Amino acid sequence: MDALAAIVRAGEGRSLRGVTTNLLAIVAALLGLGLLMVASTSPPRNPAAASYLVLKHTLWLAAGVVALIVAYSVDYHWLRRFSVILLGLSLATLAGVLVAGATVNGARRWYRFGSFLSFQPAELFKIALCLYMADFLAREQERIKTFLKGFAQPILIMGVAFVLILRQPDFGTALLIAVVTLGMLFVAGIRMIHVGPAILASIPLLAYLVIKVPYRLQRILSFLNPWADPQGTGYQVIQSLVALGSGGVFGVGLGNSRQKLLYLPEAGNDFIFAIIGEELGLIGCTAVVLLFVLFVWYGMRVALRAPDLYGSLLAFGLTLTIGLQAAVNIAVVTCSAPTKGISLPLVSSGGSSLVAIMVAVGILMNIASHIEADEEPAEVGAVRV
C-alpha cells in the first residue's frame, strides 16, 4: 500500500464533510442531463418510438435510483464477505452469455428477457472485480509482494474475464477491466518488477488481437485518418466531429440537432456527448467534463480518507472504473481514441449499465458516509469536544 499511503499522508487534515452530498449533486446533474438528452435524441419523426425510448430510459433510471439507495444503505464492510461469491457469479454469467445471450449488431453481450428488459453481465463484473480486488489486496498485503501467490492470482482472474469479454466481442470493456486491475495493484503496493514485464508482454498480444480481427484494424486506421473512408469506417466519427463543430460555443439549441436525424448512429447512447456538443455547444461539453472531473476528485478524496485499507482500495477502484469509462467515451467521440462501444456513464441511454454504475456510486457514497461519521465532533451534554 506504499503508493496510496503516501498520498493519504499528504491529504491528512482536510475535512470531507459534505462529500456525500456533493457526490449526490454531481450524479443528479449528470442523470438529469442524460434524461434531457435521451429525450432530445429520440426519433422526432416517430413519436411512438420516441416515447418508448424515453419511457425505457426513465424506468431504468428509476431502477438505478433504487439501486443507489440500497447500495448506500448497506455497510460496505458487509459486502466484503460476498466478494468471492459475486466474482464467481459474474464470471459464470460472462461465460453463459456466450451460449445463451442475444446477438445484437454481431455482438453477444446481453441476456434478453422480452423486448424491454436486458442484462449485460460485463457491467456486473466491473463491480465484482473492484469488490474482490479490494478484499484480496487489503487482506494479503504481504502476499502481493510475491509473484505466484500475490500478483499472479488477480491477473489470472482478470485474464479469464478478459478472454470471456473479448469473445463477445467487447475489446473496449476488456481493456477497461485490465487497466482497473493494474491500477488497483499499483496503489496497493505491488512490486513494479512484476507489473513492468507483464505490461511489456501484453503489448505484442494486444497488437495481435487488433491485427487478427479486420474491423479492429480498420478502426485504428480510421482513427488515424477518418476521411480516408468517409462513407465506411470513418463515417461515425466524422459525423460526431460535424456535430461537435456545428455546436460552436453556445450550441444550436436543445432539440435542434441535425446529426441525430439518422446521420449519427448511436446518438442517444455511445455518441450522446456529440449531440450535447451540437445542441449545448462548448459550454455544455465543458460542464459535462467538469462534472466528471469533480466526481473523480471527490472519489479519490474518499479513497484517501477511507476508514480502512479495504475501503480505500474499493473507493479507488470504483472511481477509476467510472472515470476511465467517461474519459474513453469522450475521447472516442472527439476522435482522440479509436472507436469503442463504451457508453458515457450516467448520461447515455440507460440499461443494466446505468443500474450498475448507480450501485457503484451508492457504495462510494457509503464509504464517504463512514468518513463523515468519524469526523463528526463528539458531544458531551450540550458541549462539543
Give the integer Cα–Cα distance in Å for 168 and 95: 10
Q: How many residues does the chain have?
A: 385
pTM summary value: 0.91
- How large is the angle between the packed helices 309-333 and 352-375, nearest 10 degrees? 140
Q: CA angle, 318 as apex, 209 and 198 as ends, to 5°?
A: 35
Helix (H) or strand (E) holding 117: strand 117-119
pLDDT tens for the chain, 385 residues: list them. 455 545 444 444 455 678 899 999 999 999 999 999 999 988 777 777 778 888 989 999 999 999 999 999 999 999 999 999 999 999 999 999 998 888 877 788 888 887 667 889 999 999 999 999 999 999 888 787 787 777 888 999 999 999 999 998 888 899 999 999 999 998 988 887 877 787 888 888 888 888 888 878 888 888 888 888 888 888 999 999 999 999 999 999 998 999 988 788 888 889 999 999 999 999 999 999 999 999 999 999 999 999 999 999 999 999 999 999 999 999 999 998 888 878 999 999 878 899 999 999 999 999 999 988 766 654 333 333 2
User: Could you tell me which residues are beta bridge partners of residue 110?
Assistant: 102
Burial class from Cβ neighbours inside 10 Å (0-12, 13-18, 19+) for residue 382 reads exposed
